[in-house]
Amino acid sequence: MRKRNFWSWLWVVLAFAYFLMPLIATFLFSLRGKKGVLSFLAYRRVFEDPQFLSTFGFSLEMAILTVIAGFLLMVPTTIWIELKLPKLRPLIEALSYLPFVIPPIVLVFGLIRMYSRPPFALVSTPALLVAGYIVISFPYMYRSISGGLQAIHLKTLMEAAQSLGAAWVTAVLRIVLPNIRSALLSAALLTFAIVIGELTLAVMLAWPAFGPYMALVGRDRAYEPAALAILSFLLTWLSVAVMHAVTRGGERSDSGAGAVH
Amino acid sequence: MAFLELEHIEKDFGAAPVVIDLCLDVQEGEFVSLLGGSGCGKTTTLRMIAGFEVPTRGLIRIDGQDVVNVAARHRNIGMVFQNYALFPNMTAFQNIAFGLSMASIAKADIRTRVQEMLALVHMEEFAGRYPQQLSGGQQQRVALARALAIRPKMLLLDEPLSALDARIRTRLREEIRQIQRTVGITTVYVTHDQEEALSISDRVVVMERGKIEQVGTPKEIYDTPATRHVASFIGTLNMLEATVSDAGSGELDIGGARIRTAAAIRAASGTIIHAAIRPERISPSAGAEGDNRLSGCVTETLFLGSTVRLVVHVEGHRLSVDLFNDPDLPVPQIGADITLSFAPEACIPIYVTN
Amino acid sequence: MKNLINGRAAKPLSSFAYVGVLPFLFFAFAFMLLPSGVLLLGAFQDAHGRFTFANIVALFDPSILKSYAISIQVSAATAVGGAVAGFLLAHAITMGRLPKAVRNFVVTFSGVASNFAGVPLAFAFISTFGRVGMVTFILKQLFGISLYDSGFNLYSFWGLTITYIYFQIPLMVLIISPTLEGMKREWREAAENLGAGAFRYWLRIGLPILLPSLLSSLVLLFGNAFGAYATAYALTGGLINLVPILIGAQIRGNVLYNPNLGYALALGMVAVMAVALAAYVTMQRLTARWMK
C33: in domain:
yes
C192: in domain:
yes
Whole-number pLDDT of residue C8:
45
Give the residue numbers spanning the domain of C232. Answer: 28-291
Comparing CA positions, the residue from B278, B284, B348 lying closest to residue B312 is B284
Q: Do A97 and C34 touch (CB under 8 A)?
A: no
Q: Do B87 and C197 touch (CB under 8 A)?
A: no
Comparing CA positions, the residue from A199, A89, A129, A131 lying closest to residue C33 is A131
Query: Could you tell me which chains touch chain C, where touching means 3 or more CB pairs under 8 A?
Result: A, B
Q: Name chain A contacts of C119, Cβ cutoff 8 Å.
A: 197, 199, 211, 214-215, 218, 228-229, 232
How far, CA to CA in Å, does B18 sit from each of A235, B21, B45, B197?
46, 10, 9, 22
ipTM higher than threshold 0.85:
no
Report H helices in chain C: 11-17, 22-28, 34-42, 54-58, 62-95, 100-115, 119-129, 134-143, 157-181, 185-193, 198-201, 207-226, 230-236, 243-252, 259-290
Q: Are A112 and C251 in contact (CB under 8 A)?
A: yes
Comparing CA positions, the residue from C146, C11, C169 lying closest to residue C89 is C169
Nearest C-alpha of chain C: how many angstroms from B14? 14
A258 touches chain C (CB under 8 A): yes
Q: Beta strand pairing status for B154-158 and B4-13?
A: unpaired
Check pLDDT > 90 for residue B112: yes
The answer to whether the peptide bond before residue A208 is cis (omega within 30 degrees of 0) is no
| Burial label, C94 (beta-carbon count in 10 A; 0-12, 13-18, 19+) | buried
Whole-number pLDDT of residue A177:
87
pLDDT by residue (tens digit) across B207-232? 999 999 999 999 999 988 888 888 88
Give the dihedral sign, CA C235/C237/C241/C247: positive
How far, CA to CA in Å, does A16 sit from each of B146, B244, C106, C169?
43, 72, 9, 11
Give the dihedral sign, CA C242/C247/C253/C255: positive
**% of residues, chain C, pLDDT over 70:** 92
Check pLDDT > 60 for residue C3: no
Q: Do C290 and B89 touch (CB under 8 A)?
A: yes
Q: What is the average pLDDT across C166-182?
A: 89
The confidence band for A73, taking pLDDT boundaries of 50, 70 and 90, is: very high
Q: Do B98 and C196 touch (CB under 8 A)?
A: yes
* CA-based R_g, chain B, Å: 24
Find the CATH number of the domain harbouring C129: 1.10.3720.10
A201 touches chain C (CB under 8 A): no
Find the CATH number of the domain harbouring A109: 1.10.3720.10
In three-state secondary structure terms, C18 is: helix
Whole-number pLDDT of residue B59:
93
Each as own residue / partner, the long-range contacts of residues A75-80 (CB below 8 Å, 24 or more positions apart, any chain) are A75/A145, A75/A177, A75/A184, A76/A172, A76/C20, A76/C23, A77/C20, A77/C21, A77/C23, A77/C24, A78/A142, A78/A145, A78/A146, A78/A149, A79/A149, A79/A154, A79/A172, A79/A176, A80/C17, A80/C20, A80/C21
Amino acid at B237: L
C156: in domain:
yes
CA-CA distance, B10 to B211, in Å (whole number)? 10
Query: Could you tell me which chains touch chain A, where touching means 3 or more CB pairs under 8 A?
Result: C
How many structural domains is chain C composed of?
Answer: 1
A114: in domain:
yes
Comparing CA positions, the residue from C226, B161, B346, C259 lying closest to residue A105 is C226
Give the residue numbers spanning the domain of A186. Answer: 52-248
A148: in domain:
yes
Q: Do B102 and C192 touch (CB under 8 A)?
A: no
Whole-number pLDDT of residue A194:
87
Neighbours of A220 (CB within 10 A): 8
Q: Do C190 and B52 touch (CB under 8 A)?
A: no
Nearest C-alpha of chain C: how many angstroms from A206? 10
Q: Are A194 and A254 in contact (CB under 8 A)?
A: no
Q: Name chain C contacts of B83, Cβ cutoff 8 Å.
A: 184, 186
C1: in domain:
no
Contacts of B255 (CB under 8 A, 6+ apart): B240, B241, B314, B315, B316, B317
Q: Are C127 and A26 in contact (CB under 8 A)?
A: yes
pLDDT by residue (tens digit) across C150-170? 777 888 888 899 999 999 999
Q: Do C116 and A258 touch (CB under 8 A)?
A: yes
How far, CA to CA in Å, does A178 sit from each of A69, A184, B186, B279, C5?
19, 10, 57, 53, 22
Contacts of C21 (CB under 8 A, 6+ apart): A77, A80, A81, A85, A88
Q: Do C98 and A9 touch (CB under 8 A)?
A: yes
Whole-number pLDDT of residue C256:
59
Chain A (27-86) residues lying within 8 Å, Cβ to Cβ, of chain C: 28-30, 73-74, 76-77, 80-81, 83-85
A23: in domain:
no
Whole-number pLDDT of residue C107:
86
Nearest C-alpha of chain A: how many angstroms from C114? 5
Amino acid at A145: I
CA-CA distance, A187 to A71, in Å (whole number)? 9
Q: Name chain A contacts of C110, Cβ cutoff 8 Å.
A: 255-256
Q: What are the backbone angles phi and psi of residue B301, rounded to the nearest 5°?
A: -125, 125
Q: Are B284 and B339 in contact (CB under 8 A)?
A: yes
**% of residues, chain B, pLDDT over 70:** 99
Comparing CA positions, the residue from A260, A167, A226, A258 lying closest to residue A45 is A226
A85: in domain:
yes
Q: Do C108 and A240 touch (CB under 8 A)?
A: yes
C65: in domain:
yes
C263: in domain:
yes
Q: Do C205 and B89 touch (CB under 8 A)?
A: yes
Check pLDDT > 70 for residue A139: yes
Which member of A29, A80, A211 has the closest CB to residue C20? A80
How many structural domains is chain A composed of?
Answer: 1
Chain C (229-268) residues lying within 8 Å, Cβ to Cβ, of chain A: 229-231, 233-234, 237, 244, 247-248, 250-252, 262-263, 266
Q: Name chain B contacts of C205, Cβ cutoff 8 Å.
A: 87, 89-90
User: In the predicted model, what is the mean pLDDT of chain A?
Assistant: 84
Q: Are C177 and C93 in contact (CB under 8 A)?
A: yes
Nearest CA in chain C to A206: C252
Check pLDDT > 60 for residue C287: yes
A133 touches chain C (CB under 8 A): no
Q: Name chain C contacts of B132, Cβ cutoff 8 Å.
A: 289-290, 292
Q: List residues of B whose CB lies inside 8 A of any C CB.
A: 50, 52, 71-74, 77-79, 81, 83, 85-90, 98-99, 102-103, 132, 146-147, 150
Q: Do C98 and A155 touch (CB under 8 A)?
A: no
Whole-number pLDDT of residue B213:
93
Nearest C-alpha of chain C: how many angstroms from B154? 12
Query: Could you tell me which chains touch chain B, where touching means 3 or more CB pairs under 8 A?
Result: C
Check pLDDT > 50 for residue A250: no
Out of A60-64, B249-253, B274-278, C226-230, which region has the weakest mean confidence (pLDDT)?
A: B249-253
Nearest C-alpha of chain C: how many angstroms from A259? 6
